[in-house]
Structure 1
Amino acid sequence: MSINLVQFQQGLSMVEFMQQYGTEAKAYRALYRARWPHGFRCPACDDRRRSRFRRGRQVYYQCRACRHQTTLLSGTIFEATKLPLRTWLLAIHLLTATKTNMAALELKRHLGVDYKAAWRIKHKVMQAMAAREAPRQLSGFVQIDDAYLGGERNGGKPGRGSENKQAFLIAVETDATLEHPLHAVIEPVRSFGDDSTKDWCARHLAPDAEVFSDGLFCFRRFADAGHAHTVLETEGGRAACEVKGARWVNVLLGNVKRAISGSYHAIRQGKYARLYLAEAAYRFNRRFRLREMLPRLARAMMLCKPHPEPTLRMASNFHG
């Protein structure tokens, strides 16, 4: 059996993590480089000149041009945190280095914080992942399928219209041979209707995308939008993974569902499905660059706007 290049690639070991980020000073410098990789930039006027001073334990930067004062974390998703920065970086490392997903309860045990703090960390990390994945467009050959999260509650309406389920679309961009997956988009939709499909298509399919899907009625909108569309006749279960134009979307779909049910057991898919699916897409799209996951995600979190806990609790799968 050949070695799986994704699974056996060299990642960032815990020893290397401690050497690079294991103290508060090292963590601070890492986040400084993440926010200002080319040196300080004033968030108000973009000037490079600044002075630095302390107020209590906090380091402030004052722009010499407009005199705006800021801190390293202000205006970022880390804003107002009381946790050590090395704890944050350890959380990012744990959430990106594990082969499977890590739930907030397990994160709590590794970090030595209470469950609420671990939940906030987990959801802020997923917010940054979702922000990075939101504008992604797929081009070339794209395999698309429809699926649901949830349905485990007793009672309620069965089938596609169940209020216990969250509909989502999963799409995988492949190379020209359809043999190697490149990137994926995994996102909830309000329904498998024409309007939701047209909206998803406009946001996530590049003009040159050629679509492969099953015969779900709403998928005809791909052809209406000008995309070449091949309708595949597939059987359910394992047989779907053998169909050339549908193989990778079904493999990834199975992996995503197993990861979510195995690691989280149950999530509030009506509110948080967008975040958990974005986490799956983020990890998949960077699966060949494990050593870069921590600095890249730290950078994404420094660019992400603040999300205090009330905002996290008010999460929605849809905007507007």
Structure 2
Amino acid sequence: KWFLAIYLVTQSKTNIAALALRRQLGISWKAAWLLKHKLMDAMRQRESSQPLSGDIRVDDAYLGGEYPGGKSGRGSENKTAFVAAVEMRNGQPNRVRFDPVDGFSFAALMPWASSALRAGSVITSDGLSGFRVVQQLGFQHRVVIAPKGKAGTEIDAFKWLNVLIGNLKTTLSGTHHAFKFSKYAARYLAEVQYRFNRRADLCALIPRLLKAVMQAKPCPRGVFQALIEQET
């Protein structure tokens, strides 16, 4: 069951939901949910130790929409902030990182920048004040102010980054429709990141994820069982 689950998770063109895993594996939804989240957490642990380097483009992004009658814009209670970053090589995206953060202040972005970026990299942002934290850490920081509207998504500096963010959101919304962003964003984002960063060799994804699972820190069933009960 585990081997087949790893195959399905790694070889699917888009993400595969726990409900689809249940049907493919012939197990209960709870067991499929538990298995899927253990695999995603192994991906998260693996990706957390892989900083980007070189020419890096960064942007602020959010998962989730606004609650009816709730706060609007970035203050919405249903929105989870994350940093989208892409490592460019020869004009093409090489690797990405999608990291949940508490916000886009200096204090929130300092730990992210310290762990997600390799020393000596050149960071390009759109001028959001929080990203100036990279200068304090000794990175070269290039600011490109993007025009408003659709034209701002198509400028060379951020074109590929915006494509990747769009693909990410389409993949998540098309497969899962909705999930508790504040609880599970790190795992779902890590799954997309893990697969993209290893897209060049789909066959190798299977043994590589097996290795990641064996090296990951334990994910006790009791912790996941409590989460499953909250879901149901």
Fold match, TM over 0.5? yes
**Larger displacement relative to structure 2 (198-207 or 147-156):** 147-156
Counterparts of 1:135 and 1:308, CA distance in 2: 22
1:1-320 aligned at under 5 Å gives the runs 87-175=1-89, 177=90, 179-236=91-148, 238-312=150-224
1:142-192: CA deviation from partner (whole Å, max 9, x where unpaired)? 0101011012532321111221110000100011x4x11111111100111
Q: Which has the higher contact order (CA 8 A, sep 6+)?
A: 2
The total of aligned residue pairs comes to: 227
Return the index of the structure with the highest Cα Rg: 1
Q: Supply the AA of the counterpart residue of 1:167.
A: A
- Secondary structure (helix, strand or coil) at the match of 2:139 reads coil
Shift of 1:238: 4.1
For the residue of structure 2 that corresponds to 1:266, the secondary structure is coil
Bigger CA drift: 182-191 or 305-314? 305-314
Percent identity over paired residues: 46
TM-score, length-scaled by structure 1: 0.68
One-letter identity of the residue aligned with 2:218? P
- Render the CA deviation track for 1:22-42: whole Å, top value 9, x for unaligned: xxxxxxxxxxxxxxxxxxxxx
Instruction: Provide closer, same or farther for how the CA distance between residues 237 and 105 of structure 1 changes in structure 2, counting only shifts above 3 A.
Output: farther
Residue identity opposite 1:125 in structure 2: L
The amino acid across from 1:219 in the alignment is: F
Kindly state the Cα deviation for residue 97 of structure 1 after the two structures are TM-superposed.
Answer: 0.3
Moved over 3 A (4+): 235-238
Aligned amino acid, residue 88 of structure 2: T
Superposed CA RMSD in Å reads 1.5
Flag the structure with higher helix content. 2
3-state secondary structure, aligned to 1:292? helix
Where 2:63 maps in the other structure, the secondary structure is strand
Instruction: Compute the displacement of 1:243 (Å).
Output: 1.4
Please tell me whether the aligned partners of residues 146 and 169 of structure 1 are also in contact (alpha carbons under 8 angstroms). yes
Structure 2 CA distance for partners of 1:134 and 1:232, relative to 1, 3 Å: same
Q: Which 5+ residue runs of structure 1 have no aligned equivalent?
A: 1-86, 316-320
For normalisation by structure 2, the TM-score amounts to: 0.93
Q: 1:252 to 1:221 in 2, by over 3 A?
A: same
Distance 1:104 1:266 in 2: 13
1:107 alignment partner AA: L
Match of 1:239, as an amino acid?
A
CA distance, structure 2, for counterparts of residue 119 and residue 311 of structure 1:
13
Counterpart residue identity of residue 103, structure 1: A
**Which residue number corresponds to residue 230 of structure 2?**
none
**Aligned partner letter, 2:160:** W
Q: Which runs of 5+ in 2 are unaligned?
A: 228-232
